[in-house]
Amino acid sequence: MKTGINRQFRLAVRPVGDIKESNFEYREEPISSPADGEVLVRTIYLSLDPTNRIWMSDMPQYMPPVEIGQVMRGVVTGVVEESKNPNFEPGDLVSGMLGWQDYTIVAENNILSLTSLPNPLPYSLTAFVGPLGATGWTAYFGLLDIGQPKAGETVVVSAAAGAVGSIAGQIAKIKGCRVVGITGSDEKCQWLTQELGFDAAINYKTADLESAIAQSCPDGVDVYFDNVGGSILDAVLTKINLHARIPLCGLISTYNATEPIPGPYNYNQILMKRARIQGFIILDYLPRWSEAIRDIGQWIDQGKIKHVVEIVEGLENAPLAILKLFDGNKKGKLIIKVSEEPS
Amino acid sequence: MKTGINRQFRLAVRPVGDIKESNFEYREEPISSPADGEVLVRTIYLSLDPTNRIWMSDMPQYMPPVEIGQVMRGVVTGVVEESKNPNFEPGDLVSGMLGWQDYTIVAENNILSLTSLPNPLPYSLTAFVGPLGATGWTAYFGLLDIGQPKAGETVVVSAAAGAVGSIAGQIAKIKGCRVVGITGSDEKCQWLTQELGFDAAINYKTADLESAIAQSCPDGVDVYFDNVGGSILDAVLTKINLHARIPLCGLISTYNATEPIPGPYNYNQILMKRARIQGFIILDYLPRWSEAIRDIGQWIDQGKIKHVVEIVEGLENAPLAILKLFDGNKKGKLIIKVSEEPS
């Protein structure tokens, strides 16, 4: 039986505006033992994602919010330490929606949310947090299933240097599209065009957005993969083509708002261009995730998809590291390394 | 050869805010004769529709705007007076996107926009302006193709007493849905529930919208057929169900705006509920209009679809009558009777 300390961050106070370290309460508890049907998972990597900000709020949302006093919810990649469930054995690598803590007991009624990773692992474990994990699936299904890009079309991606956007843009390139990324620094623009093969990139902090989009998208915009909302969405709407598709993946520009914020001023272009906006989250596609892993894995093997992971060491740094998602100072997938990978 | 006077209204000045009579210029010209390939159509009924307001503006829109000095564009049901086109004969009843005038010459390169009505006519000619015309097709394809209502679901329709909304709501009833209409007077609410069979109706001018929608839609909203946009859309968004569909048919609340107006404040519910908003206009469905005529005609025969037409006599009254579309003082389809039906 595993003994020792389980470090945790619990939600102490819902954020007003930006997340602050004081929104979390640090606590130490003894490691619990699994009851019949349960599994004890040790956290190796904790994924930090913009949607964490939604869960911390009590706005109407796609899952129940995290309650005050609960362990903060997070996507975890870990290893089974003890199992009283026939489907899992000690040593299994798993991923699931667990918590900001060293160890999580997965209850029997929640066991389906725990996924076994392939054994042996065909790629690095961090790849399963990034392009082969939830953010990769999000890019894959949002772009292909909802965006339905056709070769020769123009695809614009916002938060293009992020975990989801960088993969979505590369998949659009694989599908033969012109791909334009919108991101927040010249350095990230360079990374998109020189390393990831985007056709153009726009620094939204310095560009005149409407004219930059017009210039980068001479044939208009057929698919806009939106992670951001707000004024970037408004600018893209001025350039959408007839029957454009807008997979609505995130609204990071709005999550920290403290007042009601308006939808896009150019909303009427949805009517005028007979466009489609469709919200989605990856939970809707879980039954099909093997498709995403198969294709993205192949593209990684072929060198067609590159990915970067920014690793912050130590669970204790999670409350500060999550701010990086909102200040634009990161590329690719942000994860916390909580403990060592099995050797 | 037809001789005489052709009365016309041309666009004089683009409206700022509400349409005014002074936006139109009245003119009299001699009736023209068709050249080879052309057809001369006498206007019998002129359809007045909210989308006319869009055409009068120069906002980015789904067709070229009417230019200053051009005859105002309108959907016309009429009779061929003279034809130099092999597909039309004098006496044919036709409908098409013609103009606010007694007689229109349809050019050869525009002849495909002219549709022959069935001969003999199985329903009244005004039915072909209403439920069997463009507004009926709009209701039919917008609801069924984009809204995809399933029996037992809840469908909310805004501008529900209008030409499109009243038909969309009745089709949703035929499909086995709970149907809630939003309109602008108690009298129209009564008409919706007592005459047209809606399950509930809400007077948006007097109700607390969010709570009225919650009360009328105890199982939430699966399909919102939106003709209106604005604050009604915002209120409905608070009650949409997972995977709701929002056919975006019109934004009448915004057409008269003189300043940029925000999109829905609850836009984030599109993400949270993984909903779909899709703009459409009937031009996209023209190849399939026989489906709409077949089904709606059958439903009229079976007494399942009722419709009312509000007829204003005289082309000269068109510039004033169109205001009725925006002040909420009409039910069903608004048309101008310009000349007599053939006996």
User: Which sign does the torsion angle of CA A249, A251, A252, A258 carry?
Assistant: negative
β-pair partners for B105: B40
Residues 6+ apart with CB under 8 A from B208: none
CB contact under 8 A, B263 and A267: yes
Angle at B16 (CA atoms; ends B10, B19), nearest 5 degrees: 55
Residues 6+ apart with CB under 8 A from B199: B173, B178, B179, B180, B193, B216
Does residue B116 lie in a domain region?
Answer: yes
Specify whether the CB–CB gap between A277 and A246 falls below 8 A.
yes
Residues 6+ apart with CB under 8 A from B291: B140
The token pair that represents B263 in the structure block: 């999109």
Quick one: pLDDT band at residue A287, thresholds 50, 70, 90?
A: confident
- Please give the DSSP secondary-structure letter assigned to residue A176: T
Q: How far apart, in Å, are the Cα atoms of B225 and each of A130, B211, B247, B254? A: 39, 19, 5, 16
A44 and A58 share a domain? yes
Q: Which residues of A touch B (CB under 8 A)?
A: 59-62, 229, 238, 248-251, 254, 260-281, 284
- The per-residue pLDDT for range A168-186, each reduced to its tens digit, is 999 999 999 999 999 999 9
Name the residue with tokens 């349809």. Answer: B106
A60 and A161 share a domain? no
pLDDT score recorded for residue A108: 87
β-pair partners for B106: B39
B317 and B198 share a domain? no
Does residue A298 lie in a domain region?
Answer: no
β-pair partners for B101: B8
Cα torsion A56, A57, A59, A64 to 10°: value is: 30
User: Which sign does the torsion angle of CA A35, A37, A42, A46 carry?
Assistant: negative
Q: Which of B59, B248, B271 sits opposite A270 (nearest CB)?
A: B248
Name the residue with tokens 């009417």. Answer: B66
A31 and A85 share a domain? yes
A112 and A26 share a domain? yes
Name the residue with tokens 């915002």. Answer: B234
pLDDT score recorded for residue B322: 95
A19 and A39 share a domain? yes
Residue that finishes a domain, picked among A283, A298, A315 = A283
Cα distance between residue A292 and residue B303, in whole Å: 51
The token pair that represents B81 in the structure block: 């007076």
Does residue A296 lie in a domain region?
Answer: no
What CATH number is associated with residue B269? 3.40.50.720
B260 and B190 share a domain? yes
Does residue A163 lie in a domain region?
Answer: yes
How many CA atoms lie within 13 Å of A65's alpha carbon, on the beta-carbon side? 16
The C-alpha of A238 sits at a distance from chain B's nearest C-alpha, in angstroms, of 9
A273 and A161 share a domain? yes
Cα distance between residue A149 and residue A239, in whole Å: 16
A199 and A270 share a domain? yes
Specify whether the CB–CB gap between B45 and B129 falls below 8 A.
yes
A99 and A158 share a domain? no
Does residue A218 lie in a domain region?
Answer: yes
Angle at A294 (CA atoms; ends A291, A297), nearest 5 degrees: 135
A71: domain range?
5-130+307-337
Does residue A72 lie in a domain region?
Answer: yes
Q: Which helix (H) or strand (E) holds A105?
A: strand A103-106
Specify whether the CB–CB gap between A43 and A101 falls below 8 A.
yes
Residue that finishes a domain, picked among B268, B283, B298 = B283
Cα distance between residue B112 and residue B93, in whole Å: 15
pLDDT score recorded for residue B311: 95
pLDDT score recorded for residue A113: 82
The C-alpha of B225 sits at a distance from chain A's nearest C-alpha, in angstroms, of 13
Averaged pLDDT for residues A230-244 = 97
Longest dimension (CA), chain A: 64
Q: Which residue positions in chain B have pLDDT lower than 70?
A: none
Averaged pLDDT for residues A98-111 = 93
Angle at B256 (CA atoms; ends B255, B261), nearest 5 degrees: 75
The token pair that represents B60 in the structure block: 């980015």
- Please give the DSSP secondary-structure letter assigned to residue A257: -
User: Which sign does the torsion angle of CA B52, B57, B61, B62 carry?
Assistant: positive
Residue that finishes a domain, picked among B267, B283, B299 = B283
- Nearest residue of B to residue A142, measured between CA atoms: B274
Cα distance between residue B217 and residue B200, in whole Å: 9
Q: Which helix (H) or strand (E) holds A203?
A: strand A200-203
Helices B163-174 and B134-141 cross at an angle (nearest 10°) of: 40
pLDDT at A6 over 90: yes
* Alpha-carbon radius of gyration of chain B: 20
User: Which sign does the torsion angle of CA B14, B16, B17, B23 carry?
Assistant: negative
Cα distance between residue B7 and residue A330, in whole Å: 67
Q: Total structural domains in chain B?
A: 2
The token pair that represents A258 in the structure block: 């403290």
Q: Which residues of A30-52 are buried (b: 16+ CB within 10 A; e: fewer)?
A: ebeebeeebbbbbbbbbbbbbbb
Specify the higher pLDDT residue, A103 or A326.
A103
Quick one: pLDDT band at residue A298, thresholds 50, 70, 90?
A: very high
The token pair that represents B301 in the structure block: 């025969």
Helices A163-174 and A289-301 cross at an angle (nearest 10°) of: 70
Averaged pLDDT for residues A53-66 = 92
pLDDT score recorded for residue B56: 96
Does residue A293 lie in a domain region?
Answer: no
Q: Which residues of B touch A (CB under 8 A)?
A: 59-62, 229, 238, 248-251, 254, 260-281, 284
Percent of chain B with pLDDT over 70: 100
Amino acid letter, B172? A
Neighbours of B241 (CB within 10 A): 17
The token pair that represents B307 in the structure block: 């419709």
A108 and A144 share a domain? no
pLDDT score recorded for residue B1: 79
- Nearest residue of A to residue B259, measured between CA atoms: A265
Does residue B292 lie in a domain region?
Answer: no
The C-alpha of A53 sits at a distance from chain B's nearest C-alpha, in angstroms, of 13
Specify whether the CB–CB gap between B230 and A262 falls below 8 A.
no
B82 and B56 share a domain? yes
- Please give the DSSP secondary-structure letter assigned to residue B191: I
β-pair partners for A39: A83, A106
Averaged pLDDT for residues A70-87 = 96
β-pair partners for A72: none
pLDDT at A328 over 80: no
CB contact under 8 A, A272 and B61: yes
Helices A230-237 and A209-216 cross at an angle (nearest 10°) of: 50
What is the value of pTM for the model shown? 0.92
Cα distance between residue B152 and residue A22, in whole Å: 47
Q: Which of B265, B280, B284 sits opposite A261 (nearest CB)?
A: B265
Cβ contacts of B258 on chain A, cutoff 8 Å:
none
What CATH number is associated with residue A96? 3.90.180.10
User: Which sign does the torsion angle of CA B280, B283, B284, B288 carry?
Assistant: positive
DSSP, collapsed to helix, strand or coil, labels residue B148 as coil
Quick one: pLDDT band at residue A290, thresholds 50, 70, 90?
A: confident
Angle at B249 (CA atoms; ends B247, B250), nearest 5 degrees: 135
